[in-house]
Structure 1
C-alpha cells in the first residue's frame, strides 16, 4: 500500500489510539473518569522509555493502524525481548500490507536494539491473525493462561 508513513505516537494522538483500541475490542470507558484514566495510561506509555506506540498514517492525515511495543528484560537473557501487546489495522485497510509493514518495522527495531526475540499474543478466536503471523515467520511457541481478578 502506498501513501503510508510510520511514526511514533505523540500526546496529540491519544484519542485516535483509544479509538483503535476500542475497534480491536478492548474495554471502552464507562464514565468520564474512566476516559481520563485511559488517556493517562496512554500518555504514560508514550513517555516511557521502555515502550513505544507506532502509528501508520495514510495520505498524511488518517491514522489507519498502530502497534504497541514493550522492551522487556528477562531473568534468563542478557538481551531484551520485544513484546507486542497490540497490533491493530482498521478493517478497511486489512489485507493491503499494512500489518506486514508494521511487523517488519518491529523486526528492524528489535534488531537495532539487539533483542533476542519478538513475542506477541493473539486471541484464540483470531484464526486469520494466527495465519498472518505464521506467514511472517512467527512460530507458536507456547500457550497463554489468564485468570480474571475482577
Structure 2
C-alpha cells in the first residue's frame, strides 16, 4: 500500500470525492461532478457533525478512495450505539489492491473506538461484487433494506 494516508476529508477533496462517487453506472446517474454547488453545504453539515466521518485515502497527494462513517446512538439493543458505513469508493486503477479492505478495516476499528456494538452497511442490490467483498470481510446479509425517495 505504500505511503497511504486515511484521513478526514477537507473541502479541497470534494471534487475528487464526487468524481469517485460518479465513477460507476449507478453513481453516474445520480452525481454531478460538473456542478459541485450542492456538495459544498452537504460537506459543511458533515464537517460540523461529530457523528459524521467523511474519510479519504490519499497516496502521493491523490485521493484514491473514500467512505463515510456515521455513528448512530440508539435505544434498541439495550441502548447500543451502531455505525453505518456508506459511499465506499475506490479509484478504478486501485481496485483489487486491498485499498477497499483497508478502508473498511479503518471504519470497523473506528466504530470500536467510538463504542459501537454493531457496524452496518447497505449496498445496492445490483452490486453483487461488492456483496461478495463485504461477506469476505465478515459482514452478513442479514436484513432486507427499503428506501423511499423524497
Q: Is this a same-fold pair by TM over 0.5?
A: yes
CA distance in 2, matches of 1:30, 1:115: 33
CA distance in 1, matches of 2:126, 2:73: 29
RMSD over aligned CA atoms reads 1.8
Post-superposition offset of 1:42: 1.7
Equivalenced residue count is 146
* Structure 1 outlier segments of 4+, above 6 Å: none
Q: Which residue of 1 aligns with 2:17?
A: 17
The answer to whether the 8 A contact 1:11-1:46 is kept is no
Post-superposition offset of 1:2: 2.0
CA distance in 2, matches of 1:29, 1:95: 26
| TM superposition score normalised by structure 1 | 0.88
Q: Which residue of 2 aligns with 1:40?
A: 41
SS at match of 1:66: strand
The answer to whether the 8 A contact 1:14-1:43 is kept is no
Q: Which residue of 2 aligns with 1:52?
A: 53
| TM superposition score normalised by structure 2 | 0.88
Compared CA separation, residues 29 and 74, structure 1 to 2 (3 A): same
Which runs of no fewer than 5 residues in structure 1 stay unpaired? none
Post-superposition offset of 1:147: 2.9
Which runs of no fewer than 5 residues in structure 2 stay unpaired? none
SS at match of 2:88: strand
